[in-house]
Chain A
Amino acid sequence: MSANLLPLLWEATLQTLYMVAASTILGTAVGLPLGVFLATSQRGELLSAPWLNKVLGLLVNATRSVPFIILVVAIIPLTRAIVGTSIGTNAAIVPLTLAAIPFIARLVENAIREVDAGLIEAARAMGATPLQIIRKVLIREARPGIALGLTLAVVSLIGYSAMVGAVGGEGLGDLGIRYGYQRFMPEVMAAVVVILIVLVQLVQSVGEWIAARFDKRAPRNRGR
Chain B
Amino acid sequence: MTGNTIAGAAISFSGVGKAFDGPGGARVSALQDVTLVIEPGAICGIIGRSGAGKSTLLRMVNGLERPTSGTVAVAGLDVGRAQGAELRAIRREVGMIFQHFNLLSSRTVAGNIALPLEIAGTPPDQVRARVADLIARVGLDGLAGRYPAELSGGQKQRVGIARALATQPRVLLSDEATSALDPETTQTVLRLLADINRDLGLTILLITHEMAVLRDIASHMAVIEGGRIVESGPIYDIFTRPTHPTTRSFLGGVTGLTLPGFIAGRLLDHRPEGPSEEVVRVTFAGNHATDPMLSKLAVERGIASNILAGAIEEVGPHPFGNLLISVDAARGPEARAYLEQHGLLTEVLGYVR
Show the binding face of A for B, using Cβ within 8 Å. Answer: 116, 118-119, 121-129, 132, 136-137, 140-141, 143, 214, 216-218, 221, 224
Interface stretch (choices B115-123, B251-259, B261-269): B115-123
Interface stretch (choices B85-93, B184-192, B296-304): B85-93
**Contact status B102-A119, CB under 8 Å:** yes
Of the candidates A122, A125, A214, A221, the one whose C-beta lies within 8 Å of that of B106 is: A214
Q: What are 22 A-B residue pairs whose CB atoms fall within 8 Å in the complex?
A: A118-B102, A123-B115, A123-B119, A124-B64, A124-B91, A125-B91, A125-B94, A125-B173, A126-B91, A126-B92, A126-B116, A127-B87, A127-B89, A127-B167, A128-B88, A129-B119, A137-B104, A140-B106, A143-B106, A216-B106, A217-B149, A218-B149
Of the candidates B90, B94, B95, B115, the one whose C-beta lies within 8 Å of that of A136 is: B115
- Does B287 touch A at the CB level, under 8 Å? no
**Contact status A216-B120, CB under 8 Å:** no
The smallest C-beta distance from A125 to any residue of chain B, in angstroms, reads 4
**Contact status B115-A126, CB under 8 Å:** yes
The smallest C-beta distance from A121 to any residue of chain B, in angstroms, reads 6
Of the candidates A118, A124, A129, A216, the one whose C-beta lies within 8 Å of that of B100 is: A118
**Contact status A132-B91, CB under 8 Å:** no
**B182-208 toward A: CB 8 Å interface, digit per residue (1/0)?**
000000000000000000000000000
The smallest C-beta distance from A15 to any residue of chain B, in angstroms, reads 37
Most buried by B among A128, A140, A216, A224: A216
A180 to B118, CA, bound (A): 58
**Contact status B102-A127, CB under 8 Å:** no
Number of residues on chain B facing chain A (CB within 8 A): 30
A116 to B115, CA, bound (A): 17
Q: Which residue of A lies closest to B99 (CB)?
A: A118
Q: Known contacts being A140-B107, A216-B147, A217-B149, is A122 close to B119, with CB within 8 Å?
A: no
| Secondary structure class of chain A's binding surface, majority of residues | helix
A162 to B92, CA, bound (A): 54
The smallest C-beta distance from A23 to any residue of chain B, in angstroms, reads 28
**Contact status A132-B149, CB under 8 Å:** no
**Contact status B119-A128, CB under 8 Å:** yes
Which residues 107-144 of B have a CB within 8 angstroms of A?
107, 115-116, 118-120
A214 to B149, CA, bound (A): 13
**Contact status B149-A221, CB under 8 Å:** yes
- Does B150 touch A at the CB level, under 8 Å? yes
A122 to B115, CA, bound (A): 10
- Does B338 touch A at the CB level, under 8 Å? no
Q: Which residues of B contact A121 (CB under 8 A)?
A: 64, 98, 102
Q: Which residue of A lies closest to B88 (CB)?
A: A127
Sorted from nearest, which 3 A-B pairs have the closest CB atoms? Answer: A127-B91, A218-B149, A127-B88
**Contact status A129-B88, CB under 8 Å:** yes
The smallest C-beta distance from A94 to any residue of chain B, in angstroms, reads 35
**Contact status A118-B98, CB under 8 Å:** yes
- A137-B104, A141-B104 known; 8 other A-B pairs, CB under 8 Å? A121-B98, A121-B102, A122-B102, A126-B116, A127-B88, A127-B167, A140-B106, A140-B107
Q: Which residues of A contact B90 (CB under 8 A)?
A: 127
Q: Which residue of A lies closest to B92 (CB)?
A: A127
- Does B305 touch A at the CB level, under 8 Å? no
Q: Which residues of B contact A143 (CB under 8 A)?
A: 106
A216 to B112, CA, bound (A): 13
Q: Which residues of A contact B119 (CB under 8 A)?
A: 123, 126-129, 132, 136
Q: Which residue of A lies closest to B120 (CB)?
A: A127
Of the candidates B88, B96, B105, B149, the one whose C-beta lies within 8 Å of that of A122 is: B96
Q: Which residues of A contact B95 (CB under 8 A)?
A: 125
- Does B62 touch A at the CB level, under 8 Å? yes
A121 to B173, CA, bound (A): 13
**Contact status B88-A224, CB under 8 Å:** no
A52 to B335, CA, bound (A): 76
Q: Which residue of B lies closest to A220 (CB)?
A: B149
**B151-185 toward A: CB 8 Å interface, digit per residue (1/0)?**
00000000000010001000001000000000000
Q: Which residues of B contact A119 (CB under 8 A)?
A: 102, 104
The smallest C-beta distance from A122 to any residue of chain B, in angstroms, reads 4
**Contact status A125-B120, CB under 8 Å:** no
A121 to B59, CA, bound (A): 10
Q: Which residues of B contact A217 (CB under 8 A)?
A: 105, 149
A214 to B167, CA, bound (A): 28
A136 to B89, CA, bound (A): 19
Of the candidates A127, A218, A221, the one whose C-beta lies within 8 Å of that of B116 is: A127
Q: Known contacts being A127-B89, A127-B116, A140-B106, is A224 close to B100, with CB within 8 Å?
A: yes
Q: Known contacts being A136-B118, A136-B119, A216-B149, is A126 close to B167, with CB within 8 Å?
A: yes
The smallest C-beta distance from A130 to any residue of chain B, in angstroms, reads 11
The smallest C-beta distance from A84 to any residue of chain B, in angstroms, reads 44
Q: Which residues of A contact B94 (CB under 8 A)?
A: 125
The smallest C-beta distance from B156 to any residue of chain A, in angstroms, reads 11
